[in-house]
Structure 1
Amino acid sequence: MWHNLRQLNLLANLLGACGVLILLVSLASWLNRQPVFALRALRIEGATSHFNLQGARAIMSQLRGNFFTLDLDTTRAAFESMPWVRHASVRRIWPNQLTVTLDEYTPLGTWGNDWLVSTQGERFSANLAEAGDDLPVFNGPPGSERQVVARYHDFKRWLAPLGTRVQEVTLSPRYAWSVELTNGMRIELGRELSENLHEDTLAQRCNRLVAAWQYLTQQWGTQIEYVDLRYPNGFAVRVAGLQFAPPGE
C-alpha cells in the first residue's frame, strides 16, 4: 500500500475528513456549553387576548436545550397545549431568544356543559367565564361540531324574520334538529332530508313558519312556546296557558 500513490491519497483524504469531523464535533460541544447561547428571552406575538404568562413560564422551565439544541416541534406542541391556543409557531432569534407566534380560538358558543366551540366549528377546552356572556349553546354527537355550527348560521338566516335570535341548536343522536330562540320558544325540525330529491328540507320547514308568523302572533302574541315543524304540509303549535272549554260551555 505504501507504494500505491492512489491508496495513499485516499487514506490521506479519509484522515483529513475524520480530523474535520472531530473538529466540528468539538466546536459544537464547545458552543453548547457557552452560557451566551442559553435561552434567556421569550417573545410572544400574534393573538394574545387570553395569553397566560404564568403558563408560558411553566412551559419554559420544562424545556431542555439552548439556542442550537432546543426541539422546536416539542416546544410548539407545549404551547399548543395551553388553553385558547389554536396554533403556535416557534422560531429562534440569535443568539438566545425564542419567539412564539400564537393563533387563538375565537369562541362562537358553548358545547354541552364543559366545552367551547370556535367560529370554525372546532371544539376546545378553556375557562367558560372568559368566553363572554350570552353565547349560544350547541349540542350534538361527537364529531358533529362543524355541522352544527354551519346549521346555526342557516337557522339564524332562515328565522331572522321572527324578530328574535337563535339561542340553542341541538342535533340529537338520531340526527334530528331542534332550535330554541331567545324568547323561549322551542322549534322541532326533525331529520334533514336530501335537497336533491326535492323533499321537505329544513329551509322549507322554517319558511312555513315564517310565512304564518304574522297570523300566529296576531292570534296568540308571545304565548307561543313550542312549534313542531316535522309535518310535510303544516306544523303544530303549543300555546302557553291555552285551555279548551268542555263541549257545551
Structure 2
Amino acid sequence: MWHDVRALNAIASALVAAVVLAFIGSGVWWVSQRPMFTLRAVTVESMFGRELQHVNKLTLRNGVVGRIKGNFFTANLEQVRIAFESVPWVRKATVRREWPDQLIVEVDEHEALGTWGEDGRLLSVKGDVFTANLAEADEDRELPALDGPEGSEKEVLARFAELRAWFAPLHLAPGKLSLSSRYAWTVMLDNGMSVALGREQDKTTLKKRVDRLVNIYPQLAALLPDGIQTIDMRYPNGLALSSAGLTIPQDASKPVGVSKSATVKKVIKSTRVKTKLR
C-alpha cells in the first residue's frame, strides 16, 4: 500500500478533510456559546390570532422560561413545546427560533364545552379531555355534564350536538348526557327531565325515539303541569314516565292512553306507569 501513490493521496486528503471539519465544528461550537446568543426573550402569541381567554401570556411565559435549557442554538425546541403544552388550558404549542436571541411560541387554547366524568376534568369542543380550573371554565355559562367510557369522548361530543338540534323544536336543550358502559344513552334536559334513550340498534334508532318524544311531549306537558321527572323511550311503540303530578285512571293496572281528550281521574304522586301512544 505504501507504494500506491493514489491510495496514499486519498488517505492524506481524507485526513486533511477530517481535520478541517473538526476545526469548523469546534469553531461553530465556540461561536454558538458566545453570550450574544443567550436567550433573552420568549414571546408568546396566539396560534390563530384570537384573543386568549384563559391563558395569560406573561404568566405562561414566566412559568416556563426557567425550564428552558441552552441558548439560541442549543435549546431543545421539542422540550420547550412539551413544557408549554403541560400548562392548563394550553391545547397545542409550536416553537420557533428568531435570530439572534429569541424564541417565538404560538399557543392554541382549549375551549371547554362541558365537564367530563366525575373527577373534575373538562371536555373541549374538539373532543379533548383536559384538566383546568372549573371555576374559570364556567364563569360565563353553566357547562353541561358529559360522561362515557374511556375513548368515547368524540362520540359523546357528536351525539350532544345532535341532541341539541333534535330537541330544539321543544325549546329544550341537553344539560347532561351520559353513555353507560353498555353503551346506552341517557340525556337530562335543562327543564330537569331525564330521558332514557337506550342503546343504538342502527344509525336512526335515537333519532326516531327523540322524534316520537318531540311529537307527544306537548300533550304530556299539558296533562302533567307539575312537570315530568323521567321518560323511558326504549319501548318500540310507547314510553314509560314518572311525574310528581301524574294523572291516571282509577284502575292503574291498565295502560294509560294519551290523547287530547284524556281527563284527570286521580292524582298519585311519584307514580310510574307505561304510557301507550295512540
| TM-score (normalised: structure 2) | 0.81
Q: Aligned partners of 1:245, 1:235: CA distance in 2, in Å? A: 17
Alpha-carbon offset, residue 194 of structure 1? 1.5
How does 1:5-44 map onto structure 2 within 5 Å?
5-44=5-44
> Secondary structure at 2:75's aligned position in 1?
coil
Q: Aligned partners of 2:226, 2:113: CA distance in 1, in Å? A: 28
| Compared CA separation, residues 244 and 207, structure 1 to 2 (3 A) | closer
> Secondary structure at 2:143's aligned position in 1?
coil
Which residue in the other structure is 1:204 paired with?
Answer: 208
Q: Aligned partners of 1:108, 1:126: CA distance in 2, in Å? A: 13
Q: For residues 27-51 of structure 1, give each alpha carbon's deviation from its aligned partner in whole angstroms, at most 9, with x where no partner exists.
A: 1221232011011101111153322
Q: Aligned partners of 2:8, 2:152: CA distance in 1, in Å? A: 71
**1:231 to 2:235 alignment:** yes
Q: Show structure 1 runs of 5+ residues with no match.
A: none
Q: For residues 209-239 of structure 1, give each alpha carbon's deviation from its aligned partner in whole angstroms, at most 9, with x where no partner exists.
A: 1111221122123521211101011112212
Residue from 108, 116, 119 that aligns with 2:122: 116
Amino acid aligned to 2:176: E
Which residue in the other structure is 1:59 paired with?
Answer: 64
Q: How many pairs are equivalent?
A: 245
**1:93 to 2:98 alignment:** yes
Which residue in the other structure is 1:169 paired with?
Answer: 177
Native 8 Å contact 2:43 2:61 kept in 1: no
Amino acid aligned to 1:67: F
Q: Aligned partners of 1:27, 1:129: CA distance in 2, in Å? A: 54
Amino acid aligned to 2:6: R
Q: Aligned partners of 1:239, 1:162: CA distance in 2, in Å? A: 19
| Compared CA separation, residues 14 and 75, structure 1 to 2 (3 A) | same
Amino acid aligned to 2:195: I
Which residue in the other structure is 2:161 paired with?
Answer: 153
Q: Aligned partners of 1:222, 1:136: CA distance in 2, in Å? A: 24
Alpha-carbon offset, residue 55 of structure 1? 4.3
Which residue in the other structure is 1:45 paired with?
Answer: 45
Q: For residues 153-183 of structure 1, give each alpha carbon's deviation from its aligned partner in whole angstroms, at most 9, with x where no partner exists.
A: 1111111122222100011111111111111
* Runs of 4+ that moved beyond 4 A: 1-4, 243-249
Q: For residues 117-152 of structure 1, give each alpha carbon's deviation from its aligned partner in whole angstroms, at most 9, with x where no partner exists.
A: 011111111111111231111011111111111110
Native 8 Å contact 2:148 2:181 kept in 1: yes
Which has a greater percent of helix?
A: 1
**1:185 to 2:189 alignment:** no
Alpha-carbon offset, residue 11 of structure 1? 3.3
Q: Aligned partners of 1:155, 1:140: CA distance in 2, in Å? A: 16
Q: For residues 70-102 of structure 1, give each alpha carbon's deviation from its aligned partner in whole angstroms, at most 9, with x where no partner exists.
A: 111111111111111111111000111000111
Identity %: 45
Which residue in the other structure is 2:256 paired with?
Answer: none
How does 1:121-136 map onto structure 2 within 5 Å?
121-132=127-138, 133-136=141-144
Q: Aligned partners of 1:222, 1:20: CA distance in 2, in Å? A: 90
**1:215 to 2:219 alignment:** yes
| Compared CA separation, residues 161 and 222, structure 1 to 2 (3 A) | farther
Q: Show structure 2 runs of 5+ residues with no match.
A: 252-264, 267-278
Amino acid aligned to 1:108: L
> Secondary structure at 1:103's aligned position in 2?
strand
| Compared CA separation, residues 245 and 232, structure 1 to 2 (3 A) | closer
Alpha-carbon offset, residue 20 of structure 1? 1.3
Native 8 Å contact 2:225 2:245 kept in 1: no
Q: Aligned partners of 1:173, 1:3: CA distance in 2, in Å? A: 81
| Worse-superposed segment, 2-11 or 222-231 | 2-11
